Amino acid sequence: GFVVILEKSGREFVIPEGKSILEVLRDAGLDVDFSCEQGICGACQVQVVDGEPDHRDMFLSDEEKAEGGMMICCSGSRTPRLTLAL
């Protein structure tokens, strides 16, 4: 697992093995955009502020990844903490 930090509120969420960032945020009652939950539609894209995502989607180009985009329905983190522009 790893920890996600939301930049605006400072809230922190533990993302356990087998759960997506999207699932954890929705379970907490946050209103986040999503659709396919399979890494193909692009609806759940967020900007990474700090940390290194483990990209597992089929949506983002290498350029978009380099610019800090990530898909929270399916991608994880290579770093223990990941700060998102949410």
| Interface of this chain with ligand FES, residues 9 to 68, rule: CB under 6 A | 34-37, 39-44, 57, 59
* Alpha-carbon gap, residue 38 to 67, rounded angstroms: 21
On whether the CB atoms of residues 74 and 56 are closer than 8 A, the answer is: yes
CB of 2 to ligand FES, least distance (A): 18
* Alpha-carbon gap, residue 5 to 14, rounded angstroms: 9
* Residue 3 or 43 having the CB closest to ligand FES: 43
Residues that bind ligand FES (CB under 6 A): 34-37, 39-44, 57, 59, 71, 73
